[in-house]
Amino acid sequence: MTKQNSNPFILALKARNLTVEIHHHSAYQIVTSNDTPFNSTIDGTLYEHIHGFLIKPHVPHFCVAEKGTLNVLNIEPYSNIGLELAVRFNEERSYAVFDSPSDTHLFFQTSKNSVDVNQIVDALLSKLPSIEYDERVTKIVDYIKANYFEQNITPQTFSDLVFLSPSRLASLFKEQTGSSLSKYLLWTRLRQAIYLTLSDKDRSLTDIAYDTGFYDLPQFNKYMYEMFGMPPKALKFNSDLIEIY
């Protein structure tokens, strides 16, 4: 079962039996329990029987949730939604822990006392300023959605598509989304690669890498680890996908 979210810089999934070793990654991460409390060590401190947390990029952590289900949201830090999350921290604070569903509700200001992923995302998106996207940005986004698996996409590819110089297009895209074109393309590829990894576990990771625009499995491994703190092999065998949003 799949759902489409309106923000391309969010990767959200629901999994059971999710236990990961200590790691850190480049994305903001929100983790919430759908049912059973879980344990997590964040930046060297153990938190037991919690219902969720939000961490900044590059904070070391791991989770033990062998029972129940977890929602995991990864958010590109320089996207508009990532920048909105950044203002919720002071300089000394690198994470927030939620001891109950009501804590999660209060922090994200969801419409009701719930840890539903869609409500959390909707609450975050509601804080963003309304933007009428330039038609050239929209054209690039549509192109990436349809062609992300092509390995020969370059800044000049985008430039030729909308008749802007690469530097002017890069500036326009960052102004409207908060992030770069290259990050948008990378997140699109990773979202699809992770979906295939978790939904078709008989398929080889090498084939998935090629089919989603990566040059080879080592490149897929590199970006997967950089963005989400684990190689695709660990994600494939350490969790049972229930749903990807």
Q: Write down the residue that tokens 């060590």 correspond to.
A: 41
Q: Which helix (H) or strand (E) holds 243?
A: strand 240-244
Higher pLDDT, 217 or 101: 217
Q: What CATH number is given for 10-126 in this structure?
A: 2.60.120
Mean pLDDT of 164-186: 93
Q: Where are the alpha helices (DSSP H) in 116-237?
A: 117-126, 135-147, 155-162, 166-177, 181-199, 205-211, 217-228, 232-237
Angle at CA 38, nearest 5°, toward 47 and 73? Answer: 95
Q: Label the pairing between strands 95-98 and 61-75.
A: unpaired
Is a pLDDT exceeding 50 seen at residue 239? Answer: yes
Is a pLDDT exceeding 80 seen at residue 226? Answer: yes
Average pLDDT in the chain: 86
- Looking from the CA of 22 toward its CB, the CA atoms found within 13 Å total 8
Is a pLDDT exceeding 90 seen at residue 33? Answer: no
Q: How confident is the model at residue 240 (pLDDT cuts 50, 70, 90)?
A: low
Mean pLDDT of 201-220: 94
Q: What is the pLDDT of residue 2?
A: 36
CA distance 97 to 49: 11
Mean pLDDT of 96-118: 83
SS3 64: strand
Domain boundaries, the chain: 10-126, 135-178
Q: Which residues pair with 53 in a beta bridge?
A: 31, 97
Q: What is the pLDDT of residue 119?
A: 84
